[in-house]
Amino acid sequence: MNIVVLVKQVPDSSMDRNLRSDDNTVDRGSASNVINEMDEYAIEEALRIRETHGGEVTVLTMGPAQATESIRKALQLGADKAVHVLDDALAGSCAVTTSRVLAAALGQLNPDLVLCGAESTDGRVQVMPHMLAERLGVAALTGARKLTIDGATLTVERQTEEGYEVVTAVTPAVVSVWDTINEVRLASFKGIMAAKKKPVQTLALADLGVPAGEVGAAGATTEVLSHHRRPPRSVGQRITDDGAGGIKLVEFLATEKFV
Amino acid sequence: MPEVLVVVEATREFGVKKVTLELLTLARQLGSPSAVVLGGPGAVDALSGTLGEYGAEKIYAAEHEEIDGHLVAPKATVLADLVRRVQPAAVLLASSQEGKEIAGRLAVKLDNGLLTDVTELTTEGTATQVVFAGSTIVTSRVTRGLPLATLRPNSVTPAPASAPTTPAVERLDVVLGEADKLVRVVDRVAEQKGSRPELTEASVVVSGGRGVGNADNFKLVEELADLLGGAVGASRAAVDSGFYPHQFQVGQTGKTVSPQLYIALGISGAIQHRAGMQTSKTIVAVNKDPEAPIFELADFGVVGDLHKVVPQTAEEIRKRR
Ligand SMILES: Cc1cc2nc3c(=O)[nH]c(=O)nc-3n(C[C@H](O)[C@H](O)[C@H](O)COP(=O)(O)OP(=O)(O)OC[C@H]3O[C@@H](n4cnc5c(N)ncnc54)[C@H](O)[C@@H]3O)c2cc1C
Ligand SMILES: Nc1ncnc2c1ncn2[C@@H]1O[C@H](COP(=O)(O)O)[C@@H](O)[C@H]1O
């Protein structure tokens, strides 16, 4: 099975993240940049599928030059090769135009299966898998906590608000995964060495036949007008339980009209 | 008044979801709300009363087995046809997984911008969004197409219309292509959650962490939640330790909640947990470690053993009834 894993580089969510004051885009200098956590589970799932069903795993990233760090990490974990869509004109892309560029790249790679994270920690948008499926005219099975493959048939178990659903489709398809789907591996020494020789292809917009003026900030379908930091919460009351902590807690709840 | 489309979310058990009532409340400020019901046969009947109460002037109803039997794509197709025809002033959906997915497909179909996790929207189309785990507030707008936004639950106080309406129901033709029917739903399993409100919609959330100790002790968390009419949440450590099911996880890789009251029991307050709850209105924490970072957020904190504090809290609430 020919698998493409979508990997997005995001600012580390355990650090302080900011938007830039000049153009309102993500400040990639304010926190260190890492692979979007959920995408690590997509990489792992791809490697497991390759182990049982054979095939090839290609990493696809759209992002600035430093995204090569995330690509390298994915290759160290075991992906076979990578495609990096890199073009200055992509800065400031919105979700709609990002999906157009990724769909164009996927059109060239022509995979049986596209795996991606269910959402990214910077945007938390959860829209990319459906946007891509819409553009490619293929199935989208989102939020998988379990994926089984039988020939060309994919079956996904997905959490819903009421319980869970079982959904099925045939390849080609896009499947997005939650962190409940597997346990990710760490890169081995062998993997780290092997990654150095793995091919990374760089594609510019011209290679994809996408006009530069229609993507990036120039073609964005949404615009950030302003941004500010949320004021920190004011420090509240704190008591130490002296045997009546629960009663005092209820007194607080009562003054706030919760009981 | 310009027409504003609101895509309805409902459950069999509880009917119209609270977030849809919030959407209708918001839509009334922007124009004349029309509710869009996309579901299986008979979906509208149970909902029209509530939709009218919240001011829906009109209901567009698309009822078809194919809508229920496949994942989101049919809903997006029907909605796109409707938007093209009626050219509304705005399209509003819930920022739920499904709401965002329908909106994402709609954005591509119409080549229209999309704003997700919106907490406010003005008549001029300026939206407020909370990003980076609640640390940054952004104002933004759609620059291509009409305002298309998904609203984060608990952003608007739902209020019935001053004069309830009897909305006219317009049935929509459901014309689907092969691409809409690629993903078949083969099974839907409802996991029982009793009478508790849904986590993202609840006005009160009581969450337990590793400090709760074991699955059995989560009864304490549930009991307090029930006394306050709230939902139960859990930290990732509690979920990973098998104390509570994953769908109740609050945080960066779980649900984002923004209730009136959030009570954290035996939760340290790691940044990834805060990501899911720090926009809550009032935060209360019980933790035996005075250094726990959760206290930095708490409006009221009790340094103590939750196994003593929580039963006493429950007891005291009962006494006051
Ligand atoms: C990529 C990534 C994503 C993550 N996503 C999430 C997420 O979505 N949600 C999430 O919650 N976490 C998430 N985490 C994990 C997060 O970093 C923390 O590990 C987790 O939140 C800790 O859970 P906890 O507070 O229950 O446990 P701990 O940090 O172990 O804290 C337990 C607390 O209980 C207190 N305690 C113990 N016994 C008692 C007692 N008897 N009475 C009172 N207090 C007591 C202790 O003092 C301690 O403060 C994520 C981590 C990563 C790396
Ligand atoms: N620029 C990008 N490059 C590669 N993959 C992406 C990009 N943006 C989003 N994705 C993928 O789409 C998933 C969902 O992203 P989002 O819709 O932004 O929450 C992510 O987990 C990634 O797998």
- Summarised one tens digit per residue, pLDDT across range A55-69 is 999 999 999 999 999
Answer whether B254 contacts ligand 1 (Cβ < 6 A).
Answer: yes
**Strand-pair category, B90-94 with B148-151:** parallel
Stretch A140-151: mean pLDDT, rounded?
97
Q: Check residue B252 and give its pLDDT.
A: 87
Q: Check residue A182 and give its pLDDT.
A: 96
Q: Do A164 and B139 touch (CB under 8 A)?
A: no
B162 Cβ neighbours under 8 A, 6+ residues apart: none
Question: A142 to chain B nearest CA, in Å?
Answer: 9
Q: How far is the CA of B206 from the centre of ligand 1 (A)?
A: 15
Residue A65 CB coordination number (10 Å):
10
B31 pLDDT above the threshold of 80: yes
Stretch B282-302: mean pLDDT, rounded?
97
Question: B100 to chain A nearest CA, in Å?
Answer: 6
How far apart CA B90 and CA B123 sit, in angstroms, is 9
Give the nearest partner residue to B139 out of A126, A225, A256, using CB atoms: A225
Q: What does R_g of chain B's alpha carbons equal in angstroms?
A: 21
Question: B314 to chain A nearest CA, in Å?
Answer: 8
B193 pLDDT above the threshold of 70: no
Q: Provide the residue type at B218 as one letter.
A: F
Instruction: For residue B77, give Cα distances in angstroms to A199, A231, A243, B4.
Output: 40, 41, 60, 18
**Is the bond preceding residue A172 a cis peptide, omega within 30 degrees?**
yes
**Strand-pair category, B58-63 with B168-171:** parallel
Q: Check residue A102 and give its pLDDT.
A: 98
How far apart CA A116 and CA A99 sit, in angstroms, is 13
Stretch B101-115: mean pLDDT, rounded?
98
Q: Check residue A14 and give its pLDDT.
A: 75
For the question of whether the overall pTM of this predicted structure is more than 0.90, the answer is: yes
Atom of ligand 1 nearest to the CA of B269: 25
Nearest partner of B34 among B61, B63, B72, judged by Cα: B61
B85 pLDDT above the threshold of 70: yes
B287 pLDDT above the threshold of 90: yes
Strands of A89-138, DSSP E: 113-117
How far apart CA A212 and CA B152 sit, in angstroms, is 33
Residues of chain A in contact with residue B244, where contact means CB-CB under 8 angstroms, are none
Stretch B49-68: mean pLDDT, rounded?
96
Q: pLDDT averaged over chain A? A: 94
Give the pLDDT band (50/70/90) at residue A209: very high
A161 pLDDT above the threshold of 80: no
Residue A1 in contact with residue A50, Cβ under 8 Å? Answer: yes
How far apart CA A80 and CA A169 sit, in angstroms, is 26
How far apart CA B241 and CA B150 sit, in angstroms, is 33
| A164 touches B: beta carbon within 8 Å | yes
ipTM more than 0.85?
yes
Total beta-carbon pairs less than 8 A apart between chain A and chain B:
273
Q: Provide the residue type at B281 as one letter.
A: K
